[in-house]
Amino acid sequence: MRVLITGCSSGFGRGAAVELTERGHDVIATARRPDAIADLVVAEKLALDVTSDASVGECFAAAGRVDALVNNAGIGVTGPVERLPIDEGRRAFETNFFGPLRCIQAVLPQMRERGSGTIVNVSSLAGRVAPPLDGF
């Protein structure tokens, strides 16, 4: 199975890339900065900025067949909500909401054509719990 994982430079994305490779899957690891994943031993490594339509298009064109997409890339923005710049909120939405949507739109046509595929959207506990200083 060919699995494309977004946000493999650290955390869950990196861990998933290692684990799925060990389990025999062909992992396509992606990151905004390819140097951040240079040390990963995976089937393929591609640059991907989920906030860019062009980057998403180029990445999925280069990836070819994708049997499973793991939307993992994400950012956190914290601070008192009255002091957070609106641009930081936009950046969070571009990465955490529109980023996965771009990737789903890029991969779903090939999955529909084949009649198979899996999409996993990784979320954060921050989506369920609103701690202090976490306005976005």
Secondary structure in 3-state letters for 74-106? CCCCCECCCCCCHHHHHHHHHHHHHHHHHHHHH
Q: What are phi and psi of 32, to 5 degrees?
A: -60, -40
> pTM (2 decimals)?
0.94
- Residue 106 has what pLDDT? 98
For residue 36, being part of any structural domain is answered with yes
Structural domain for 27, as ranges: 2-98
**Angstrom distance (rounded) from CA 27 to CA 17:** 6
CATH value at residue 91: 3.40.50.720
Q: Structural domain tally of the chain?
A: 1
- Residue 136 has what pLDDT? 64
Ranges of H-type helices in the chain: 11-22, 53-63, 86-93, 99-114
For residue 105, being part of any structural domain is answered with no
Residue with tokens 């390819």: 34
Q: State the 10-residue block means of pLDDT for the chain, 136 residues long.
A: 98 98 98 97 98 98 98 92 92 96 98 98 81 72
- Residue 135 has what pLDDT? 65
- Residue 7 has what pLDDT? 98
- Residue 58 has what pLDDT? 98
For residue 117, being part of any structural domain is answered with no
